Amino acid sequence: MPSQLPHPARSDARDNRDRLLRAARTVFGEKGLSAPVREVARQADVGPATLYRHFPTKQDLITETFAEQRHACHAIVRDALVDPDPWRGFRSLIERICELHADSRGFADAFMAAFPEAMDFATDRERTLRAVAELAHLAKKSGRLRPGFVVDDLVLMLMAHRGVQELPRADRLAASRRFAAYMIEAFRAVPEPGTPDVLERRP
């Protein structure tokens, strides 16, 4: 009786798929999601037909390309929410999200909805913003976050943060960390005049 299980993919097909994903991380990471998929095929040294056999749509390719970043984003949100110090969780979420965005222009595009079909990433963005809203509520109650902070402030900052992509790749992470530090200071509650500043400050 013939087996009903699917045959394993041939090794050359697996190799092609892996090459396509590596190429997509490079192409989309450097040029963003506006880069054509044919450029990914050229980078992987395969024909367009091979690319479409593995990834019938550009969205399929994007989703697989940034699966690792999406998992990392989920972990960032989870870690921030379970931190017993909401201000520390809030800061950590900002710092780590900025690092993810600095590492790949394509992921930043998807997260910020520059590619309209990236619905999975839109879900990730909404999950992240809900976490920010929850942390912000608790951090305000603790007196560590500016009372006037709203989630749209973070969205605007992340839009501005995309400017680090214009820097040479070797300089992006350091620039991202400096930008995140300025964001956090901008969001930090300002002590009343004459009140000692006992809030934690990072170097």
Instruction: Give the residue extent of every domain in the chain.
Output: 11-65, 67-187
Domains 11-65 and 67-187 share a fold: no
Higher pLDDT, 86 or 14: 86
Beta-bridge partners for 188:
145
pLDDT beyond 70 at 146: yes
Q: Cα separation of 169 and 167, whole Å?
A: 6
Mean per-residue pLDDT, 76-82: 93
Helix (H, G, I), strand (E, B) or coil at 132: helix
Beta-bridge partners for 145:
188
Alpha carbon distances (Å) from 19 to 22, 41, 43, 116, 186: 5, 9, 9, 26, 42
129 and 154 Cβ atoms separated by less than 8 Å? yes
Protein fold of 11-65: Arc Repressor Mutant, subunit A (1.10.10)
pTM score of the predicted model: 0.79
**pLDDT tens digits, residue range 30-53?**
998 899 999 999 999 999 999 999
Burial of residue 44 (number of CB atoms within 10 Å: 0-12, 13-18, 19+)? buried
- CATH of the structural domain 67-187, one choice from 1.10.357, 1.10.3470, 3.30.1490, 2.60.120: 1.10.357
Q: What is the mean pLDDT of the chain?
A: 86
